[in-house]
Amino acid sequence: MNQKPCYILGIESSCDETAAAVLNHNKVLSNCITNQEIHQQYGGVVPELASRAHQINIVPVVKQALKEAKININQINAIACTQGPGLLGSLLVGNSFAKSVSMSLKIPLIAVNHMQAHLLVHFIKDEGITPPDFPFIGVNVSGGHTQIIIVKDYFDMEIIGRTLDDAIGEAFDKCGKKIGLDYPSGPKIDSLSKIGNPKKYTFPIPKVNGLDISYSGLKTSFINFISRNNEETPNFISNNLNDICSSIQYNLIKNITNKIELAVKRTSIKSIAVGGGVSANTSLRNFLIEKKKKENWKIYIPPIPFTTDNAAMIAIAGYIKYKRKNFSNLNYEVKSKIEF
Ligand code: KG4
Ligand code: ZN
C-alpha cells in the first residue's frame, strides 16, 4: 500500500544563503539555494545586506522549491524554519515568512536549531546517506561553529568540545582572504591544496586542554607569516600558492582531527558523523576514511550539497519533530545564539 504523502517545506535564512526545500517524509523532492554574491566584494558577510537580500530572494526560492517538488503550496503538511543561531536580521526574514505561511494555511510551524540540523542531515533518505545509530559523535565544522557533540538521540545532544574563539570555517576564510582568495575561501583553499605540499610550511597548533579547540592563534600566525614573506620575497604568494594552501589546510584540519581522536578515546564511541560547510573538505574526509580502514570507525560524511547551509537539513529536522508532534507557537523568538 502506498504511504500517504507528508510534505515538509524547510526554510533556511540564518546567514547568507536563502534556501527552501521540500521533503516527502524523509525524501528530498527539492533543495534550492540562492547564494548572496554581494558579500564577495566585502570579503565576508555584511549582516544588513544579507537581510535585504533574503527579502528579495525568499519568495522566488520557495516558488522554485515547490515547482521542482511538483507540488502546490496548499499540499504542504508543515513548515519548518531555522530559529537560530545566526544573524538576527536574516533569521527574522525566514521566520516571519514561515509564520505567515503557517497562519494562512493553518499548518504546523516547526522551529529548528540550525546546528542540530547540520547533523540531522544524516537521516535524510538519499543516495550516499546511511543513518547512524545512536549514540554517535557529531562534529559540526562550519563558518560560525566548531563543536564536538555526543548525539544520544535526534534532539538530545551534548556539546563536549567547542571553539574558544574562531570557528574552523572562519579561520579558512580569513587565511584565504590574506592570500587574496574570494569569500568563502575554504573551498578554494581545498582545491588549490590538491597539488601542494602540506608539510612545506609549519604553523603552531595551539595546545588547548580537553576537547575544546582554538583557531585564532593558528590564523594569526599564518597572517603574520604571509606578511613577513610578502615583504621579503617578491611574488611569494603567487609563486607558492599551492604549497601555502596545502600547508595551512593541513594545520587547520589537524587541529580538529586531533580533537576527534581524543573524543573517540574519551567516550569509546567510534561512530563519527560530520556536518557543516567544512565537512566538504577533502583532507578531513580523507582522515575519516583512513580511520574507517585502519581503526574500524563508522564514519558518516554528508554528500556535498548537504554540507554547506541548505534547507533540506531544516526540513528533515522539521519532519522528525512533525512525527513527534513537536510544534512551535507562532510567537516564538528568533535567537542569534542558541544551545541545544
Ligand atoms: O555550514 P556553512 O555553509 O555555514 C555556516 O553555518 O557557517 O559553512 C560555511 C563554511 C565557510 O567558512 C566555508 O569556507 C567553509 O564552510 N567550507 C569549506 C569547504 N567548503 C565550505 N572549508 C574547507 N574546505 C571546503 N571544501
Ligand atoms: Zn551552517
Residue-wise pLDDT tens digits, 167-179 = 999 999 999 999 9
Please give the pLDDT value at position 147. Answer: 98
Which ligand 1 atom sits closest to the C-alpha of 183?
Answer: 14
For 257-278, write each residue's pLDDT tens digit.
999 999 999 999 999 999 999 9
Please give the pLDDT value at position 3. Answer: 86
50 shares its domain with 155: no
Residue 230 has pLDDT above 90, yes or no: yes
Give a yes or no: residue 1 inside a domain. Answer: no
Å from CA of 110 to ligand 1 middle = 26
63 shares its domain with 98: yes
What band does 340 get if pLDDT is binned at 50, 70 and 90?
confident
Pocket of ligand 1 (CB under 6 A): 15, 142-144, 169, 172-173, 184-187, 190, 276-278, 280-281, 308-309
Å from CA of 276 to ligand 2 middle = 5
Give a yes or no: residue 12 inside a domain. Answer: yes
What band does 239 get if pLDDT is binned at 50, 70 and 90?
very high
117 shares its domain with 174: no
Pocket test for ligand 1, best of 16, 172, 248, 338 (most atoms within 8 A of CB): 172
117 shares its domain with 172: no
Residue 212 has pLDDT above 90, yes or no: yes
40 shares its domain with 16: yes
279 shares its domain with 173: yes
Give a yes or no: residue 247 inside a domain. Answer: yes
Å from CA of 283 to ligand 1 middle = 13
Mean pLDDT across the chain: 96
95 shares its domain with 216: no
Q: Which ligand is nearest to the CA of 301?
A: 1
Q: Which ligand is nearest to the CA of 169?
A: 1
Taking ligand 2, which is a single-atom ion, which protein residues have CB atoms under 5 Å away?
142, 309
Pocket test for ligand 1, best of 142, 193, 306, 336 (most atoms within 8 A of CB): 142
Protein residue with its CA nearest to atom 7 in ligand 1: 143
Per-residue HEC secondary structure of the chain comes to CCCCCCEEEEEECCCCEEEEEEEECCEEEEEEEEECHHHHHHCCCCHHHHHHHHHHHHHHHHHHHHHHHCCCHHHCCEEEEEEECCCHHHHHHHHHHHHHHHHHHCCCEEEEEHHHHHHHHHHCECCCCCCCCCCEEEEEECCCCEEEEEEEECCEEEEEEEECCCCHHHHHHHHHHHCCCCCCCHHHHHHHHCCCCCCCCCCCCCCCCCCCECCHHHHHHHHHHHHHHHHHCCCHHHHHHHHHHHHHHHHHHHHHHHHHHHHHHHHCCCEEEEECHHHHCHHHHHHHHHHHHHHCCEEECCCHHHCCCCCHHHHHHHHHHHHCCCCCCCCCCCCCCCCC
Q: Over pLDDT 90: what percentage of the chain?
A: 93
Please give the pLDDT value at position 1. Answer: 60
Domain count, the chain: 2
Q: Over pLDDT 70: what percentage of the chain?
A: 100
Q: CATH number of the domain that 70 lies in?
A: 3.30.420.40
Give a yes or no: residue 67 inside a domain. Answer: yes
Å from CA of 142 to ligand 2 middle = 6
Å from CA of 117 to ligand 2 middle = 9
Residue 80 has pLDDT above 70, yes or no: yes
Å from CA of 118 to ligand 2 middle = 7
Give a yes or no: residue 328 inside a domain. Answer: no
Please give the pLDDT value at position 138. Answer: 98
pLDDT (average), residues 242-254: 98
For 88-127, write each residue's pLDDT tens digit.
999 999 999 999 999 999 999 999 999 999 999 999 999 9
Please give the pLDDT value at position 39. Answer: 75
More reliable by pLDDT, 138 or 45: 138
Lowest mean pLDDT among 4-18, 33-47, 76-90: 33-47
Which ligand 1 atom sits closest to the C-alpha of 308?
Answer: 3
108 shares its domain with 229: no
**What domain range is 256 assigned to?**
131-301
215 shares its domain with 164: yes
Residue 43 has pLDDT above 90, yes or no: no
